[in-house]
Amino acid sequence: MMKTNRVKKLLNSGRLAVGQWVGLCDPAVVEIMALAGYDFVAIDLEHTMFDLQTVENMVRAAEATEITSLVRVSSLDPKMILRIMECGAQGVFLPHVRTADEVKLAVDAAKYWPEGDRGISGVTRAARYLAPDFMAHTRVSNEETMIIAMIEEAEAVERIDEILAVDGLDVAFIGPADLARSLGILGRKNHPRMAEAVDRVIETHRRLEKAHIGIACFHSMYDPPLETLINKGIRCVTTSPTDTALLLRACREQVQMAREAERK
C-alpha cells in the first residue's frame, strides 16, 4: 500500500510543507533531500533530461525515507500523468496550467473512480505488481496522492476562481519565473504586477477555502520575506535555488577557499 503523504498531512493540519526541485537524475539526491529534512522532492521532468526509469528509482528512494515524491510532468497529456502515477509517485505538478478544464483532465488521469477516471491495471508498481485488494489500493491511492497546478501563466491568474474550485486539486502553486515572463516583467525582481498577481491568488484562496496555495520561495524573481507569505496563507513552498545550482554554488566556494589558501 502507498505510504502516508507527508505533504498532505502537513497541509491538512495547517503546517508548512517544504520541498526542493530536483534536476539531478540520481536516487541519491532524493536520499540527500530526505536527510536534509525536506518534506517533498519535486522531480522536474519539465526542464531536465530524466528518463522514466530513473524517475521510478527516485520514487523508490523516496519510499525508503519519510520524504514525499512529487513529479513535475513535462506536458499535461493524461497518458504522461498516468505513467508517472503508475510508477508510484505521490503526486504531480502540472506546469503552465491555463484553465480549470486542464486541471479536471489531470485529476481524471491521476485519480481512480469515483474521484477520477484513471486507467486500470492491478499489476503496476503503484499497485505493488499484484494488488491483493485492488479496490483498497484505489482508495488509498486516491487518499495519498495529490495534484498541484502551477500558476505561472497570466491567464491562470485571470481564471484563478475556476481553477481553485476544481474538485481534486490540492495546491495552486505559483511559479514566479514563468509568471514574470507571462506578465511581461521578466528580469524585474519584485515588480508590483507580480505582487498584485500573487495577492489575487491569495485572496481568491481565502474566499473559496478550497485548494491550498504555494509558491517557489527565495526566488530570484520574487522574494518577499517567507513569513509574510505564510501569514497570508501560503502553506507549500519549494526553496530556491535548485539542487544543481546549490551544488555549483557550494563547489565554487570550496575552490575559492583552496585558491585563497594558495595565495596566503
Query: What is the phi/psi pair of residue 5, to 5°?
Result: -85, 105
* Smallest distance from ligand 3PY to CB 140, Å: 30
Please tell me whether the peptide bond between 224 and the residue prior to it is cis, using omega within 30 degrees of 0: no
Residue 98's CB is within 10 A of a number of other CB atoms, namely 19
* Interaction pattern, residues 197-216, with Mg ion; x per rule: CB under 5 A: --------------------
Question: Residue 215 CA to chain centroid, in angstroms?
Answer: 10
Q: What angle is formed at CA 150 by the lines to CA 108 and CA 50, rounded to 5 degrees?
A: 85
Give dist(CA 110, CA 119) in Å, integer: 9
DSSP 8-state code for residue 79: H
Which residue lies nearest ligand 3PY, judged by its C-beta? 175
Q: Which of residues 164-203 bind ligand 3PY (CB under 6 A)?
A: 175-178
Q: Does 216 bind ligand 3PY (CB under 6 A)?
A: yes
* Catalytic residue numbers, as ranges: 47
Residue 176 site contact among ligand 3PY, Mg ion, none (CB < 5 to 8 Å, cut-off depends on kind): ligand 3PY
Q: Binding residue for Mg ion (CB under 5 A) from 39, 44, 108, 178?
A: 178
Give dist(CA 237, CA 161) in Å, integer: 21
What are the DSSP calls for 178-231, one per residue?
A: HHHHHHT-TT-TT-HHHHHHHHHHHHHHHHH--SEEEEEES-SS----HHHHHH
Q: Does 152 bind ligand 3PY (CB under 6 A)?
A: yes
* Smallest distance from Mg ion to CB 46, Å: 7
Binding footprint of Mg ion, residue count (CB under 5 A): 3
* Smallest distance from ligand 3PY to CB 175, Å: 3
* Interaction pattern, residues 144-163, with Mg ion; x per rule: CB under 5 A: --------x-----------
Give dist(CA 68, CA 93) in Å, integer: 13
Q: Does 86 bind ligand 3PY (CB under 6 A)?
A: no
Q: Does 175 bind Mg ion (CB under 5 A)?
A: yes
Q: Quick one: CA dihedral 2, 4, 6, 11, positive or negative?
A: positive
State which residue, 12 or 75, has the beta carbon closest to Mg ion. 75
- Give the footprint of ligand 3PY on this chain (CB under 6 A): 152, 175-178, 216
- Give the footprint of Mg ion on this chain (CB under 5 A): 152, 175, 178
